[in-house]
Structure 1
Amino acid sequence: MMRMAARIRDIRIPLLLAGALVAAGLAASGVVGTARADGEAFVIPPPVVDEAAKSGPETAVLAGGCFWGVQGVFQHVKGVSRAVSGYSGGDASTAQYSVVGSGRTGHAEAVAVTFDPKVISYGEILQIYFSVAHDPTQLNRQGPDTGTQYRSAIFAKDAAQRKVAEAYVAQLDKTGAYPAKIVTEIAPLKGFYPAEAYHQDFLTLNPTYPYIVYNDLPKIENLRKLFPDRYRDKPVLVSDAKS
């Protein structure tokens, strides 16, 4: 874990817990409020356009800053059977943490989220991604981390996923849910490469690590409070998967 020291470089401590929660009326209408780690609260609607129900597992590959927090969020989501930290956007030959950190590989730190579309839809996965997992208005950065490897990106595996993602970004921009334009990149999935073993399940295994405490534990709390029907207390871990 020698490289982990880079994670706490130039940390700017945000508020540990978010501000406003969802008003009862908004929750009842299906509109979900979100609170970022900086304490600002936003209200975003669920996606109007979503995929038709499918049989069998589906995978969404999402990037939103450091993969520790994004993985941690989706490991607590009902219907998710696996969430793996990794790299996407570049070549297999450069999919190593020490190289991706240069910001010159084309890779983003990403998470492959495998889920049951009969339990949670792709659009609902994106709603959690936009409202809890990261701030989609930050360009080539997320919180204390800067560089293209920390960009906001959705890697769509097919035309159906791309259609839902593009429609949802347009919907959120139109509603003015955020104070700035969403900068999330929507790109075709050309490959996903799992990260090194020491990155997997990092949030769960290191809950007192300063970076996790300051930047990621608030995301788990927001998921629990803002999506109570989607939250599960026991995370699904990579280390629990049977080989």
Structure 2
Amino acid sequence: MTNLFDLTGRTALVTGSTRGLGRAIAEGLGGAGATLVVNGRGDAATEAAAAELRDAGYDARAACFDVTSETAVMDAFATLDADGIDIDILVNNAGIQHRQPMVELSLADWQRVIDTNLTSAFLLGREAAKRMIPRGRGKIVNIGSLTSELARATVAPYTVAKGGIRLLTKSMAAEWTAHGIQANAIGPGYMLTEMNEALTSNPDFDAWVKGRTPAGRWGRPDELVGTAIYLASAASDYVSGQLIFVDGGMISVL
């Protein structure tokens, strides 16, 4: 019987995959058989991450480029084309956070978060789809958030960006599913990542997360892997435009 979750022979580009959620997802896809294209903004960190993955037994290469730059994204895909590398799976994971009340928020900080968390997914998705459509297949996995559905004070640009991810995913599905491309999203709950260190080290916030989450704890980055493999594999060939929350049940309760 064919293994629906086998990614052997597929190549996955995971943005923001030098650490955190992106690194965990990349390792998970690699473990399922995918060849990995590791992305980050810094040459040294990106090359080091790719080398570490290779040392761990994965087939990985580095692709250092700024996901918020249209020119850089287009050039990156042109380089992959020239090297004969087809991206079968795109995971739009790159993201940043900025916590500040809206009345104090500068336009520059607003734009920086929107560009990194939302516009980059459009740019990468567009370039990937241009190549997936002629092949008649492809998987796009966008990383959303609990804030794709609900808001919290002081993180307005992040909330707007992640809400946009939800509808960008549906728009991708509306236009590209007919071409054999499935576009879906994952909405992580509160995860133990470097980006959340300021929150995990705050006793009051830590207690709030644990009390608010039915699972009673923070999530681990590796707990996104199963959902990512599912959405990247043949197991989800009739699933498109969906957002799956991996949040310990948090979004389901008052």
TM-score (norm: length of structure 2):
0.27
- More contact order relative to length (CA 8 Å, sep ≥ 6): 1
Between structures 1 and 2, the one with greater helix share: 2
Bigger Cα Rg: 2
Between structures 1 and 2, the one with greater strand share: 1
TM-score (norm: length of structure 1):
0.28
